Amino acid sequence: DSMNDQSTATMQSPSAPEAPAWHAMDLEQVRQRIEAGEKGLSEQEAAARLDRYGPNLLMRETMEGPLAILIRQVTSPLVYVLIAAGIAAFFMAEVIDGAVVLGVVVLNTIIGFVQEYRANKAIEALTKMVPELTTVLRDGKQRDVPVTELVPGDVVILETGDKIPADLRLFQARNFRADEAALTGESVPVSKNTEPVEADEVVGDRACMAYGGTLVTNGTARGLVVATGGATELGRISQMLEQTRSIETPLTRNIAILGKWLTVAILAVAAVFLVVGLLRGYPVADAALVAIGVAVAAIPEGLPAVITISLAIGVQRMARRRAIVRRLPAVETLGSTTIICSDKTGTLTRNEMTVTRLWTPSGQWELSGVGYAPEGELSSDGQVLDEAPEPVRRMLLAGLLCNDSTLWHDEQDGWRINGDPTEAALVVAAAKLGLDPQTLREEHRRIDLVPFESERKFMATLHGDGDGSVIYIKGAPDVLFQRAASGPDGEPLDEDRFHQAVDDMARQGQRVLAMARLRVDRRLEAVEEEDVAEGLEILGLTGMIDPPREEAIRAIAACHEAGITVKMITGDHPVTAMAIARELDLVEDGAEAVTGRDLGHMDDAALDEKAMASNVFARVAPEHKLRLVESLQRQGQIVAMTGDGVNDAPALKRADIGVAMGITGTAVSKESAAIVLTDDNFATIEAAVEEGRRVFDNLVKALAFMLPTNLGQALTLLVAVATFPIMVLNGAAGGGGGGGGGAEGEQIVPLLPILPAQILWVNLVVTAALALPLAFEQMEPDVMRRPPRRPDKPILDLFILWRVVLIGTMMTAGAVGLFLYRYHADLPAEPTQQQIESAMSLGQTMAVTTLMFFQIFYTVTCRSLRGSVLKLGIFSNPYVFVGIVTTLLLQAAFVYAPVMNTLFRTSPLDAIDLLWALLLGLVVLPVIAVEKAIRRRHRLAV
């Protein structure tokens, strides 16, 4: 439970009528329904509506308190057993035992509390996505009002740079574009108009709507507020986020199952020990002490620390690979992932529009280079050209001059742009071919322009041309073709070739722009839309695309080899999505994208089938993404979901592992995710998957190393209680020794090979010093050639159980054998109590030292559970040798330091004793080597 990081933040929306399809109504219907006009509301009516609808806020309830989080850390069966054992030890006057056990509980509780206290702040981040003030019409006059006082029916006035404060139905729009990436995932700003659309259109295609939380990038607009607060699209997503619950990771589920089984087993074994001890004549106090010892021996006290430290090391390694982990279990979850649902823009692609195809009536060319760096080569039919042909230069000059974007170089960040990415791609293309933007813009100074508007679908700029003028136009191919008279210099324009070129580029998912010019034989001082209604010379076409990252192509191939399916879920258009998917090798020939509209008409059964069969989903809304994740999870998949927008937040939270973009991601998406990528790159996800698999491998190694020691100690006590003789001494023969009374004047001394305090020494000190270095172990060579671990596969599988039994039995035999050897070596025929206690102390020290040597040699074999350690490199993990040296030094203190002799009732050993313990520990090396060889020969899985 301590590993869960689930927020209890919830959201509350103001009461409002159920939202109709505003985007499907004409303006008159909207005005009648909202009971408001283009001049806005009166102050009196606005106040009344504020009382009716509530403030324009996304509200939330109080977060879960620290006390509740703290209590949850100790609600674990294993913790209950530890607490009970610690308290019982105090009652038995075993202060050291009790203090150490309860200290472990306190440490684990603190670690879990600190981790979980970092509550999910996604809802709080949502409230910051609206501005503080906005401009509205009240009583027919413009005024700035707090956004919280905005109500349905208000008229909002928007300009470039404004953040939209609520959901608006636009009734005026001039050259108006909005960046809706946070809501839709659309890679470029969207042009807006006032015309209604179909009722079932997804958010990204509702051109007559402006949504709260998005940004105005160009132009001006006016719109009627149709939804505020929780009734907005942003509020609807926030409510989905509230209702979406994080799920347990595979690791936390497995650890919880392991804890329950261990608890049951420990309690059962402790009870058996208590009964056996009493039946054999042990005093109640000694029988109880043995039962406590068994419980302490069987519980892997160091396991929570090893898990936490292993995950923390994974966090550090992922940070070096540009993945910031916000929740520790997420480290391992990525390694278990079976499906990665990835956004397209910026994750699989560069998020930098690039011109790749050029067409003029005289030919076509390819332009290499990606991104905004003006570096690339022009080629035709595979032949690189030293110089751009005149038709190409003429077309790119038009694209450069009929353009508001600029390209500049930053010493730290490299080449950057200001303005629209599509226009910037034309500037870069011109620069690649030697056209200097600044020089040419000074030579051909702009006199006037017709700005781009979604209604007209083109932009025109006026420039001087000797005694005359020239107008350059760029825009949608079909619009410019309708206004065209010819090709360049009056050449005939082949209509079929023109449209064929447009279709070829569009099928490849390219954004196609046409370039044209109109030469006028007189000087013009202004240009109007009517001036370019006819007579244009079509100069050519440019095809541009947001190209896939080269590293993403390699990363997807690595994921496929690792048995991980990659699915693209994007807000972009299906054609663009499929073109990129083909380049990334995500789809086979003949495959088609599934749209959000398609998903909206599917029931759960149809969705389950389509979710598994298809790899590209386009034009999807937030609820579609969430349903896709839930569908895949229903079918037993471990799903990683990437995203950067508010629309991704519910799916990010629901996924087994949410991955947000650190550069382009919104605060909401980052707070909803478990991992944030600092470079927004899919290749980083693949690297994180590698790291997750390495972390899980190392956790299994730690388990395979630690649990046999617990079994070995418990079996050692079982053998002693069941078979060792009970010493009954005359009470006058010596002082106390912790035994119980028998008949008057007699003292019973149980013969135990290891004491509870010594068990804790082995579990917490020796074991931890050797287990923790395994967390630093290098990646296994085949880590990305294995299929994902089955989600239902228990962490304590048959392999671990076999190793526990094999090594635990060997440890028991060694510890019991050398205890008996050392105990009887110097014991006279009729010993005193003092001699018995001295012999027991020597034997117990011998047993603990034997266990220590077993662990040292066994930890070397655990560096790889599949193959030879030599393949990893003997010195590839120096921490193992640090752990071994540390263990030897600690054990030397345990054996020879007087204070440790007093605390743990140990005695110094001679060289022969140490040699016997060393030789017996060495036996584990050939045994495990043979076992690995058998497993490899029979191809038995680990």
Nearest residue to 873 via CA among 887, 884, 885, 863 = 863
**HSE of 319, CA atoms in CB hemisphere, 13 A:** 11
Helices (H) and strands (E) in the chain, counts: 34, 32
CA atoms lying within 13 Å on the CB side of residue 889: 7
Out of 343, 531, 572, 644, the active site residue is 343
Q: Which two tokens stand for residue 784?
A: 């990305």
Whole-angstrom Cα distance, residue 350 to residue 352?
Answer: 5
Query: Does residue 669 contact residue 649 with C-beta atoms inside 8 Å?
Result: yes
154 is catalytic: no
Determine how many CB atoms are found less than 10 A away from the CB of residue 918. 15
Token pair belonging to 570:
């994007």
- The CA distances from residue 888 to 289, 553, 709, in Å, are 29, 49, 17
Token pair listed for 564 = 């991980």
* Distance separating alpha carbons of residues 666 and 672, to the nearest angstrom: 10
The packing angle between helices 284-298 and 682-723, to 10°, is 160
CA angle (341 as vertex; 336, 342 as ends), nearest 5: 120
Helix (H) or strand (E) holding 542: strand 536-545
How far, in whole angstroms, is CA 506 from its chain's centroid? 34
Closest C-alpha to 16, from 44, 58, 61:
58
In sequence order, what are the beta bridge partners of 169? 209, 224
**Six-digit token pair at 452?**
């781009």
In 421-535, beta strands by DSSP E: 446-450, 458-465, 468-475, 484-486, 511-520
CA dihedral 416, 419, 422, 425 (to 10 degrees): -30
534 in helix, strand or coil?
coil
| Other CB atoms within 10 Å distance of the CB of residue 603 | 7
Q: Say how many C-beta atoms besides its own lie within 10 A of residue 242's C-beta.
A: 21
CA angle 38/40/42 to nearest 5° reads: 150
Q: What torsion do the CA atoms of 797, 803, 805, 807 make, to the nearest 10 degrees?
A: -160
Helix (H, G, I), strand (E, B) or coil at 464: strand
Catalytic residues: 343
